[in-house]
Amino acid sequence: MDFSNLYRDIIMDHYKYPHNKGLVDDSTYLTIHVNNPSCGDDVVIQLKVEDNVIKDIRQLGTGCSICCSSASIMTNTLKNLNKDDSLNIINEFYNLVMGKEYNKDILKGDALAYSTVSKFPARVKCASLAWKAIEKGLLNEEV
């Protein structure tokens, strides 16, 4: 079965109708800003973690359909998960977009729409940008 049309539809749906879009004015959220100057993608992620669980993720960005839709899908994929499970999923997403083997028991759902991104190396950064931002936040790296 050729999933390329389905994946394209998922990506375009999240691009046109992004989930968890818009930032909140709440100091309990960690805000992470990342950009990809080579293509103009720019994303802000807000992250609220309580008791080691991601209670909320907000996103706001500009850029290509791959970047913006990936941010939307990332918020749906990781919301309400604990940090360790989220970091495992993020790692498997990186494997997927780089064309490496990934654990199909860990990475599921709409995130699989990026399985062909590895064929377009310049787009790997686009698909990964929001995921890199939340990873920084979860690892408490300087943001």
Kindly report, residue by residue over 109-132, the tens digit of the pLDDT: 999 999 999 999 999 999 999 999
Give the pTM. 0.94
For residue 134, give every residue at least 6 positions away whose Cβ sits within 8 Å of its Cβ, in sequence order, or none: 32, 45, 47, 57, 74, 78, 86, 90
**37: helix, coil or strand?**
coil
> Which residues are 33's β-sheet partners?
44
How many Å is the Cα radius of gyration of the chain? Answer: 14
Whether the predicted pLDDT of 143 surpasses 60? no
pLDDT at 6: 77
| Distance from C-alpha of 41 to C-alpha of 63, rounded to nearest angstrom | 4
Of 1-10, 11-20, 48-57, 76-85, which range is least confident? 1-10
Query: What residue spans of 1-143 are helical by DSSP H?
Result: 4-16, 65-78, 83-97, 121-138
Average pLDDT estimate for 58-71: 97
Domain boundaries, the chain: 4-138
pLDDT, one tens digit per residue, over 72-114 is 999 999 999 999 999 999 999 999 999 999 999 999 999 999 9
> Which residues are 53's β-sheet partners?
50, 82
Whether the predicted pLDDT of 41 surpasses 60? yes
CATH 3.20.20.70 for domain 4-138, yes or no, is: no
- Report the amino acid identity of residue 41: D
For residue 13, give every residue at least 6 positions away whose Cβ sits within 8 Å of its Cβ, in sequence order, or none: 69
